[in-house]
Amino acid sequence: MAQDPRPTGAVGTIIDNDALNALLLAETKRPLLAYGEQLLLETIDGWSVVGTEGVGTVEKDGKIDICATIEKSFYVEQHSVPIDAVRALATGEKRDLADHVRRFGSRLEMNFHLWHQLTVKADS
């Protein structure tokens, strides 16, 4: 069965995961790992970081929450880090949100469409 095409045009930049994990370690003094590959997006509400399940946060007061886990754990927590430090980790590799958020049921599709709407309007 063919999947419905997603709208495109919400383009962000991949964040270097190894460098992000090093930033999390420096900020928290704990061996945390960013939960999957992260995409840096500019939205109508400011900079955001979105994972491959369409889960993310928007910057607030110069900080942004990053979803992270302790290695080999299913427990995910959020840790606040400086947004400028995260922006410095952008690789330059561009990716459309439609290709970044994986397809697996209605929850992920809803997450994708929420971020797509916030991002595309920022470009308008």
* Mean pLDDT of successive 10-residue stretches along the chain, which has 124 residues: 75 95 90 87 94 89 90 76 97 93 81 85 54
Q: How far apart are CA 59 and CA 47, in angstroms?
A: 6
The whole-number pLDDT of residue 120 equals 63
Q: Any idea where the domains of the chain sit in the sequence? A: 11-123
Angle at 65 between CA 67 and CA 75, to 5 degrees: 25
pTM, rounded to two decimals: 0.86
The whole-number pLDDT of residue 5 equals 82
Contact assessment for residue 50 and residue 97, using Cβ atoms and an 8 Å cutoff: yes
Q: How far apart are CA 10 and CA 32, in angstroms?
A: 28
The whole-number pLDDT of residue 68 equals 85
